[in-house]
Amino acid sequence: MERQLYWRPILGFIGFDIATYLVLYVLVLPPLEPATQAMDPILSEATGYLLTALRLGFIGAITARWIRNKHGLLKRSDAVPSMVVAAVISWLIHMLLNLFADMAFGGWGWDWGYLLALGQWVVFSLIGALFVSAGQAEEKQQSVPLRFSLGSERGAASLFLIPTVSLLVIASLTVIVMLGSATNNRRSADTAADAAALAAGKVWKDTLHGKFSSALSATEGHDFWGLVGTSLAYGLPYDAMKSAAADYAYRNDAELVSFTVDEYRAAIQVKVRHIDSSATGSKDIYSTAEGSLLFRSGLCNEWGKIGFKINGSCVTSPPPEPPAPEPDDEDEAEGEEPEEPPFELPTGLSNWNVDVVLTDAG
């Protein structure tokens, strides 16, 4: 038998596709929108693919059985041309509807997801057709696509369609929920580690900002230059930094496991463990992150030593003292010491600009 297009089953496929799409996405899913928005994005996307696969698989099985009952199928591949044409036309209709909707609400742009949708329409429909066995047309009795005959072996595959797909749905949802939960826990642990590192870095940054502000308000040179050359670890608010890291980890459902500071690189390393109160005996999920102080201007770091950023250079030692002026004869006669000039901030000292950045995100 030559392969040909069967237009009534093709039109039936398109009708079933549009009808089930409207029922699912207009009547069934909108009331569940609050629950779907609370789902993990990966889980939500995977559930959408699963619903599309089931819907198109059922439609493909129904259409293939229609073709077999009305026209006969010597081989399953005889139904492929009609199935592909039906899937492509249905996809084009959805594309046009999507185009009109986008133009009505502000414009339309190309998205490679449209080609992915075309692949779904074709592949899932053909997979559904695999559940229908080949056979001769039912010429002596009228048959509709959804009617299954218990006395004919040609309908045996259709009898197992519903329980098979039901098991597939249960297994798929189980895998998706497990993967989605694990992915969500991993993301939560990574977020907690990043937040902990940034929080500790902010405490360190605020402490250094206070020291820089005090230096700017100095009226004596030794008070201003006394900050340079000191260690970044001097006066380090270690306990406050660790407390901030633990607090932000807890806010993101994790506990702080370890906390270290590298004053040479102005870096903080944290390790957290995700807390899952709903799981018992599950494997712990750990995440590590590193935050660093990025000295843009104002202060600078030279391998653990604090310096001032002056004229683009990191100055970690005070300039040499200028030679004392020699007293003239009149001052010697009067016995007065020459007055020292008032202290002035060095020319070229840059303003404060220090950031906390993630150098190794969780």
Q: pLDDT tens across 14-52, in order? A: 998 988 888 887 877 777 676 666 566 677 777 778 888
pLDDT the model gives residue 242? 95
Q: Is the pLDDT of residue 81 over 60?
A: yes
Residue entry with tokens 């995100």:
361
- Give residue 298's region: left, alpha or beta (phi > 0; psi -120 to 50): left
**CA–CA dist 120, 94 (Å, integer):** 13
Residues 211 and 352 in one domain: yes
Burial of 321 (0-12, 13-18, 19+ CB in 10 A): exposed
31 with 99, same domain? yes
Higher pLDDT, 361 or 52: 52
Residue 168 covered by a domain: no
Residues 33 and 154 in one domain: yes
208 found inside a domain: yes
Residue 30 DSSP class? G
Alpha helices (runs of H) in the chain, residue ranges in sequence order: 7-22, 33-37, 41-71, 80-104, 113-129, 156-159, 161-216, 221-225, 238-251, 329-334
In this structure, what token pair is assigned to residue 141? 């009795």
- Do 355 and 224 belong together in one domain? yes
361 pLDDT above the threshold of 60: yes
Q: Look at residue 148 in the predicted model and tell me its pLDDT.
A: 44
Q: Does pTM surpass 0.95?
A: no
Q: How many CB atoms lie within 10 A of CB 312?
A: 8
Same domain, 221 and 265: yes
Q: Same domain for 155 and 78?
A: yes
Residue 329 lies in a domain: no
128 and 205 inside one domain? no
- The answer on 232 and 121 residing in a single domain is no
Q: Residue 107's pLDDT band (boundaries 50, 70, 90)?
A: low
In angstroms, the Cα distances linking 293 to 28, 108, 194 are 51, 43, 14
> Is residue 272's pLDDT more than 90?
yes
d(Cα 345, Cα 216) in Å, to the nearest integer? 7
What is the C-alpha to C-alpha distance for residues 354 and 74, in angstroms, rounded to an integer?
75
Pair of tokens at residue 298: 């104002």
What is the side-by-side strand order in the sheet with 267-274? Answer: 254-262, 267-274, 286-297, 353-360
Strands 353-360 and 313-315: unpaired
How many Å apart are CA 242 and CA 263, to the nearest integer? Answer: 15
- Name the least confident of 86-90, 98-102, 161-165, 218-222: 161-165
| pLDDT of 134 strictly over 70 | yes
Looking at the structure of the chain, the number of domains it has is 2
State how far the Cα of 70 lies from the Cα of 274, in Å rounded to an integer. 59
Q: Which domain holds residue 297?
A: 191-320+343-360
Domain shared by 153 and 198, yes or no: no
pLDDT of residue 208: 93
Give buried/exposed letters for 133-164 (b at 16+ CB in 10 A, else e). bbbeebeeeebebeebeeeeebbebbeebeee
Q: Are residues 291 and 153 in the same domain?
A: no
Please give the share of the chain, as a percent, with pLDDT higher than 70: 74
Q: Is 79 a domain residue?
A: yes
Tens-digit pLDDT profile for residues 142-190: 444 544 444 444 444 444 455 555 555 565 556 555 555 666 778 888 9
Q: Which tens digit of pLDDT belongs to each residue from 235-263?
A: 889 999 999 999 999 998 899 999 999 99
Answer yes or no: is 101 within a domain.
yes
